[in-house]
Structure 1
Amino acid sequence: MKERECNDKAFGVMHYKHGWVKSQLVSLFGKDWNIRISVRAYSEKPINELQQKQYSEYSNNEEKYKETISSELVKYINNNLPELAINWKEAKKIDSTNELAKIVTPRTLFFNQEGDVVLLLDCVWDQENGIGIQIIPKTAIGPQNTFL
């Protein structure tokens, strides 16, 4: 069975694998990461206008959103150290965003059908669930399953 492909006006070339996906290089926490861009769509339906609008918003303001991601993660970790230390034996206060590269791994920038944009990351303190940071239309942080 041939994999379906589309050339979306906002996202560019995407492939259908339980949603529209592609890879993209992103610099975060002082390091380059090859992450998955994932757009929720059921039954190979096209990417919707709101998803296109939110991708354009992210792309046009990427530096602002990367700063939000870094600062929210540092704040979350530093405010929740006792709780995180239960599963993260080396838990310590984060002083620099570059320290984040040692404890989180960005995996997917996820665009749902309602316009929410969430970065999904693996993390050392919750290897089963990971952590998510919603950046559009509002900012929120928590376990990935909160956003999926």
Structure 2
Amino acid sequence: MSDTMKIQDPVFGDMEYIHYWRKMEEINFWNRDIQVIIAAKAYRQRPITEEQRTSYQYFEKNKKIIEKRSKAMLEKYMMDSDVILQEENIPDLETILFTKTGEIIFLFACKWEQEHGFAIQVYPEYKMGTQDLFL
């Protein structure tokens, strides 16, 4: 018997709880079709918050703008950090995290920051750095 709890959220759709509410989704991001985890942070199977729903709707409505701005930020960060701007150095988006208060944070795996990972917050403001700054 599985301990996994599942819900049908009115905004996120089908979600399951494994340390947080989550689902897999295929998206086109930075001209690549990828599978990402859509995650709504919650403790002890607490419900998804209205702030998370609002930020998810914002993300869905503004994907292209968010995609362009986050890529430009990443490219500037890589150039400022002396990371060679080549395809193999572009980080892999693994998770789009919606915090309980509604922030949207992209969590990446990357070759040049393997220990801490890389993150870009895209809502309510844009910030970037290692994942430990956001988690």
User: TM-score interval w.r.t. the shorter chain?
Assistant: over 0.9
Which residue of structure 2 lines up, in the alignment, with residue 14 of structure 1?
15
Which deviations, in whole Å up to 9, do the C-alpha atoms of 1:96-129 show, x marking residues without a partner? Answer: xxx45x2211100001111111000011111121
CA-to-partner distance for each residue in 1:38-85, whole Å, 9 max, x for gaps?
A: 11111101100000000000001111111111111001111121xxxx
Separation in structure 1 between the aligned mates of residue 36 and residue 13 of structure 2, nearest angstrom = 15
Q: Which residue of 2 aligns with 1:67?
A: 68
Larger Rg: 1
How far off its partner does 1:25 sit? 1.0
Q: State the superposition RMSD in angstroms.
A: 1.1
Instruction: Tell me which stretches of 4 or more aligned residues in structure 1 moved more than 3 Å.
Output: none
The corresponding residue for 1:52 is 53
Deviation at residue 30 of structure 1 after TM alignment:
2.0
TM-score (norm 2): 0.93
Unaligned residue ranges in structure 2 (runs of 5+): none
Q: Name 1:116's counterpart in structure 2.
A: 103
Unmatched 5+ stretches in structure 1: 82-90
Partner residue of 1:139?
126
Correspondence for 2:114 among 127, 130, 147:
127
2:26 maps to a residue whose letter is: L
Partner of 2:39: 38
How many percent of aligned residue pairs carry the same amino acid? 29
**Residue-pair matches, total:** 133
Q: What's the offset of the Cα at 1:130? A: 0.9
